[in-house]
Structure 1
Amino acid sequence: EADLSNVVVQTFDDPSRLTPDRLAAAQKRAGAERVMVEYNGMWQIDLLYNALPEGWFICQEIMIADATTFLTFNANMRQQTVDKMTSAEVVLFNRVAPGRDVMELHKIVRAISRGAQILYEYADGRLESDQIEDPLPFDISAPIIEIADRDYAIWYRDLTEETKKYIGKTVRFKGIIARDNQLPRGVYAIGRHVMTCCVNDITYRALAVKADDAEKYNTRDWQILTAKIVFENCKLDGGKGPVLIPVSREPATAPEPEVATFY
């Protein structure tokens, strides 16, 4: 049995009570050096992040899901699944029936995060690490990486998660242009609207294109772009990031569907 003599339990039964002051006060009362949070799966994870007191930082984030009910939960509350898996370093499925095909569980995780470690805890007590390989649906060793319309979301996520392996490579894809007065002169954005979980969660995922003739392109123009990927101070949200240097461009029609998904 665990020794709980040096453990203090603090319960918050309402998300509105999660504030930096309350968490800091609870830490002070307990004299805690480490805090473990068992978080309510129906509360948005940002509520916790925004409530962390100054000096607190997250060492590890683990999502635990009951494999016997997870597929139903995901089908009915996909947004909660995405919210919890996006930042999790480990996803643990417990109560897995021996002999169960875990491919469907694997695919759900990988549609949200390629970096999370996946573990399966079986009903007989065994704990196994996921061994399923995930080949990308495009060849990153090709002279030109060809991104099919249906693969844009997967490519964009892989590019942002593993930017280094793309630097210096040439890529070709179809995207929709966006112009903004806040962008530097000679820069426009190109990307796709990506749906992560549902129609309420569609976001424009784009990259900066550096081109002397940027001003001649219009917002909502579709373009097939072949470009070299470099790492520069021209990221759309500030700082350094992947930037596209055009090799060739041609006008295009919108793909069907226009919104990119993770399949």
Structure 2
Amino acid sequence: METAVDIFTGFLDSGKTSLIIDAVEHSDFDEYRQTVLILCEEGEEAFDPALLKKANIIPLVLEEEEQFNKEFLMGIWRNYHPDHVLIEYNGTWEMSTILETEMPQGWMITGIYSTVDATTAELYLTNMRTMFLEQVFQSDLVIVNRCTDETDWAKIRRSIKVMNAKAQIVFERENGEAFEQGEEALPFDITKDLIEVDDIDYGLWYIDALEHPEHYRGKKIRFLAQVYKGKKLAQNEFVPGRFVMTCCEEDIKFLGFLCKCREEIPYEKRSWVTVTVTYETVMTRDGEAPMLELDEIELAYRPKNDVVTFY
């Protein structure tokens, strides 16, 4: 028998319990015979015992991170034989604990869902950035709730997307209604056939190209980049990209898209080049993904600031 495991992450009082309640009250929940709910922290909102009984959910409380281990999960399997497990994870525990713990045979993580309180998101991004982003690093869905007209949604979205490109991000107001984000103003003209991306705007272009391939498909893009070559790439492939910092030095990572060329380029790894590429997309197992085709490449000087930001 297979057991579906759904994980809910986020800081205390970010809305995890409300999200789980919404899932339990959904009509699709009736397909499960026996559900175990693992509670790794206690927030302001509690679960109604009547709701749990009606949905045939057995709640179990886990107080210490060290208790989340193979033996604990095997005990759940032996005692309850669930076909569904819900885990309300503690926002201060490391995600590696839950993702690397061996689960009983037949258990499979079917979804990771994260909640973010928009009223405290910027504070966490400034002071507890690593812990904040760890909660959403593997998420399939991120719900940013309690948004107001003052919420810097673009900053929150960029910070999450640069760490987890596949995540679907939903913004909601305090009452649960959808928060309309509008279009983020871009510092380059996407209506032109040749789009020239200034040095400081690379990070913004990367995220937009990732989220909105329709803006660039079939168009030529010119930008300053560093060359990345890896053992898994073919001789006629490389990645032109930049090191991008989302907030602080701990968050610096190399961002770029795979680029195919007619022949191997005569430049070493980490060389600075100016490239003109044609933006296309290909289908992968994770969906549509950008693919660049090299039109021109020339050696360039290292810029004064070799790390770019989103701001």
- Output the TM-score relative to the length of structure 2: 0.66
1:171 touches 1:229 (CA, 8 Å); kept in 2? yes
2:235 touches 2:263 (CA, 8 Å); kept in 1? no
1:85 touches 1:112 (CA, 8 Å); kept in 2? no
**Same amino acid, percent of matched pairs:** 24
Q: Relative to structure 1, is the Cα distance of residues 184 and 41 closer, same or farther in structure 2, using a 3 angstrom cutoff?
A: same
Equivalent of residue 76 in structure 1, options 107, 111, 127: 127
Equivalent of residue 236 in structure 2, options 172, 186, 192: 186
Equivalent of residue 108 in structure 2, options 35, 56, 68: 56
User: What corresponds to 1:93 in structure 2?
Assistant: 145
SS across alignment from 2:58: coil
Amino acid at match of 1:174: L
Check if 1:249 corresponds to 2:297. yes
CA RMSD, 1 decimal: 3.3
| Offset, 1:207 | 2.6
User: Unpaired runs of 5+ in structure 2?
Assistant: 1-47, 162-167
Q: 1:189 and 1:259 mapped to 2: Cα distance?
A: 16
Check if 1:26 corresponds to 2:76. yes
User: What corresponds to 2:13 in structure 1?
Assistant: none
User: What corresponds to 2:275 in structure 1?
Assistant: 225
Q: 1:188 and 1:117 mapped to 2: Cα distance?
A: 33
User: What corresponds to 1:170 in structure 2?
Assistant: 220
| Offset, 1:145 | 2.7
Q: 2:132 and 2:58 mapped to 1: Cα distance?
A: 29
1:92 touches 1:118 (CA, 8 Å); kept in 2? yes
User: What corresponds to 2:172 in structure 1?
Assistant: 119
Residue deviations 1:10-62 (CA, integer Å, cap 9, x gap): 23334344345633542553343333222111223343333373542334513
Q: Relative to structure 1, is the Cα distance of residues 201 and 64 closer, same or farther in structure 2, using a 3 angstrom cutoff?
A: closer
Q: 2:223 and 2:182 mapped to 1: Cα distance?
A: 25
* Structure with higher strand content: 2
Amino acid at match of 1:107: A
- Output the TM-score relative to the length of structure 1: 0.77
User: Unpaired runs of 5+ in structure 1?
Assistant: none
Q: Relative to structure 1, is the Cα distance of residues 181 and 39 closer, same or farther in structure 2, using a 3 angstrom cutoff?
A: closer
Check if 1:38 corresponds to 2:85. no
Q: Relative to structure 1, is the Cα distance of residues 72 and 32 closer, same or farther in structure 2, using a 3 angstrom cutoff?
A: same
User: What corresponds to 1:109 in structure 2?
Assistant: 156
Amino acid at match of 2:142: V
| Offset, 1:66 | 7.2
Q: Relative to structure 1, is the Cα distance of residues 64 and 193 closer, same or farther in structure 2, using a 3 angstrom cutoff?
A: closer
1:85 touches 1:109 (CA, 8 Å); kept in 2? no
The alignment covers a number of residue pairs equal to: 249
Check if 1:131 corresponds to 2:131. no
